Structures are given as C-alpha cells and as structure tokens.
Structure 1
Amino acid sequence: MQPRLAMLIDVSAVQEALREEGIDGWLLYDFHGSNPIARTVAGLDDRGGLTTRRWYYLIPAAGEPQALVHRIERNVLDHLPGRRRVYAGREQLEAGLAGMIGGGRLAMEYSPGGAIPYVSRVDAGTVDAVRRLGATVVSSGDLVQRFEAVWDEQALALHREASAALYRIKDRAFALIAARMKADAPVGEFEVQQAMCAWFEEEGLVSDSAPVVAAQENSGNPHYLPTAASSRAIGRDEVVLLDLWGKRNAAAAVFADITWVGYTGASVPERYVS
C-alpha cells in the first residue's frame, strides 16, 4: 500500500462549512511546529516542510485565501491556493496580519476554558493579537473534526492491520509467560517487554513507547514501564497486564491500542473476577 500524498485542503469544502456554521474564516497558525493540527491541514507534515518562523493561512467563508509567511520561508505555503503576504520583523508581521483580518468571527485552534486540550494549540498571546485586530476568536474544533480527524479508507485499513498485529504480539507475550511457568523457569517484566519490542519490528509497527508489562502491584500503576533496573519477576498466581499500542510506518497510519490482563495461576480468584 502506497503512503498517502500530502494533504491539500479542499478550500471550497471548508468555505461551505464556514458558511454553514456562521463563521467568517478559519485562521491557521503555527510557530516551529506548535500547532500540529494546522500543519496537517496545510499539508506540511506530509511534505516534510520545516518551519521555524510564524505563518498564517486564512480561509475566508467567501473569497480568496491569504497566506502570511516570513521572508526566509516565503515558499512554505506555495502548494496552497491564495494570495501571499511576506513579512520580516514584528512591524511587518503586525501589518500583514491586520491586512488579512477585518473583524468577524474567526476559527482557530482554541478551546474556551481549555475544555478540549487536544484542540487548544494556539497560544493566548496570538489569540489576543487576533482579537485586538477586531476579530472574535471561536474554536475550530468542529472544523478539525470534519476536515482533519475523519479517517479515509486507507487510514481505516492501516488501523485494522495494526490492531491485528497487536493481537498477535499480545498472544505471543502471554504464550512466552505461560511457557516459562510450565517449565518452572524465571521470566521478568522487562524481558517480556523487550521480546514484544522485537515483535513490533517483525510486524512492521512503530510506536512512541515500549509496551507496558506490569505484574501484580505494578499493574495498578497507569504510568508504569519496566526497565532493566525496576523490573520484577513474574511469579505464579499473579496478575499480568499488557498495554501496547502502535501503527504502521506510513503517512496515513492510525494507531491501534489494546490492553489485556492475564493471570498466571490455574484459575482466576474471585476477588479479581468480581
């Protein structure tokens, strides 16, 4: 399966959504990767676009989009439609932003009261600056849900592949523990975790963390990760928790995440069952 090409936002679809919601524009903003939502919507991540200066991209409810970019990164949004404004220095930045914003209701990656932190990506100072220019800033949460968070068929297929791989890894981990128990041989949390990491590579999965392998009292710690120093032996008649997540190494890939709990005895005690 080929990786998805850089996402080019459907401006006309966004404009239709803005009119439906009574919003005058969607103002995308990023500084040095501070707003991953804006970068994804603008197609920068898939293009490998490195940015170290502030950029803005305004999609109005009607009319031509506008971009505001720094002089040394003047081509960073060339793949998107619309007029370009270039700045160098704070005064030109403020003047360029004032030329783009004429009041009205603008959606940004902002969440009132920080209610949805995943959406709250624009810093308070930038929101203040936009408000000072006469705009009312509203949350882009519904727009993000519609245009950035919806999976396509490729993403769903990759998610299902990752999920199936995680289940195979989970089964192998429990089988490893069971085999050691039957052989009356020692086995520890860290050993099982490292075996699972190797199986991740075999399955073609990537993750931002090694899996959680937590025995008995450690299974009650939601942030526990075994290390060579902290790992404990997995004994008989103990609870063992496996928490693992990963995705295919592809641009459109979506994480899968599973958590399973096993017991190393012949039967599960009632206190755990209930």
Structure 2
Amino acid sequence: MLIFCSDSSNLGRLDYASLSQQAIMEMVIDGIENSEIICGSKDAPKDILEWKRITFEDETVTKIQWNHTKINGSIYFQWLPATVTSFHVNQNNLQGTIEWNMLPESLAYFDIPHNSFSGEIDLAHLPEKMKRLSASNNRLSGTLNLEKLPSMMKSLYLSNNLFKGTVSLTNLPRAIIYLRLDSNSLSGTINVTRLPESMVSLSLGRNDFVGSTDFGHLPNSLGLLSVEYTQLEGTIPNIYRNLTLAIDVSNVVTCEKRATLAESRTDEEK
C-alpha cells in the first residue's frame, strides 16, 4: 500500500522508471473516490494481479477496461504505465482534466466517453501509436486542431462536447475511417474535397457550419455523411450511390436524384 503525503497528480515523472507497476497503478486510481470497486480496498489495495478488468502480459499492465463500473472521482492519466496500449472507462462518473501530452507512448486505444471530463484537448500531442480516441459526451472545450493527428489514427469521436471555432478537414490522417464532430458549437465553412480515401463515416451535424460546400469530391468509400441541423449548402452528385445522407427537413444539402434521411451512428459505443 502507498501512503501519499500530497496530491499524487503533482508528483511528476522524475522517479517513474524506478516505481513498480503496483505503485504506479495505485497512483492512477488515487483520485477515484470508490476505488475499492477496482482494487478491493481503498486503504489496503490488493496486488494488481487481482484487480478487476486488467489484462497483463508478462506481469505488466497492457489493457484496462473499467467500462460501466460506476467509479467516480478523477483518474491521474499521467501515471498510466508505459506498457498500457488500451484504456477504457466508458460511462462512469469521472471528471477532471487530462494531460494529453503525458499519455503513454504505447497507447493505441483511449476510450473515455459518457463522463464529465473537462478542459481543452491537445490533439497535436497525442501518442503517435494512437488508433482510436473516443471522448464523446463529456465537457471538453476549446478549439480542435485536426492538422496534426497521429498518422495511425483510424477513429476519432468527439461529439457532444463544448468545442467551438473552425475546423480543417484537409489534412486528416490517411488511415482515418470514422470522424464524429457532431453536437458541438463548431462554426465556419467546411472543405470536404480532400478527405482520405479510407473514410467511411463523417458526422458534422448539430453545429453552426455555414456556406456553400463542394460535395463533388467525396471519397468513394464514404458510407455516411451527417450534416443535419447545420447551414451548409450543396448538392451530392448521384455517383455516390452507396452514401447515406443524414439531414433534417430544413437542410439545403440534397442529392441529385434522392435524399436519404438517416440517423448518424457509428461503432463508437459498442
């Protein structure tokens, strides 16, 4: 058991390499008010090999799955073990800010949706190996820099937050498949003429986007385009026969021969 004389979030990483994974993991959960759900006892945590929903390889932590565990409080993400590749805390009662530039370099999957995390998001300093960031339904704020995402990023889910300002979609990672920016306060015009050829789903609805938009150069792979409750204008050429267009009755985005109403959905919450 570790006894902290001060807030462990301020300790820094000066002695990080010298600490055991037991010590590091106890720091990670030090801000969780009901951490006994995970470690058995808040005052005398069990050996981490007995903690709930943790996957190990050679006795090192690689995957943490604390979805739907009803934990509340805060997590000190900066103390996540360097060996963690996958971290999931979907639908809990967690809050606080995240030091994005201190996440483990090995982290590929980072899922934190349906909590109350706040503060700005630093997309330019995510781990280079990150493939999926799911942070929808929180209270994250600020602007979104999509110009310097990790090259391996395949899925980015940021819907239902408090983001504002303009966004650029002209320099997304070539690997990206799913992008959800819907239900924020984003604004300005949108350029969708240089989307990656890999993209399958793009959700922009319920924002303040405006203006005439060229929909004539969408990737053939695109299966869902969500622009409902925006002020975008334009026509979808009928060459995109497999595209589902999510709009509302007031939209002036149309198809040349048809307009399919659909609900914007992805695999994010599976």
The TM-score with structure 2 as length reference comes to 0.22
Task: Specify which structure has the higher proportion of strand.
Answer: 2
| Higher relative contact order structure (alpha carbons within 8 Å, sequence separation ≥ 6) | 1
Task: Specify which structure has the higher proportion of helix.
Answer: 1
The TM-score with structure 1 as length reference comes to 0.22
- Structure number, greater radius of gyration: 1
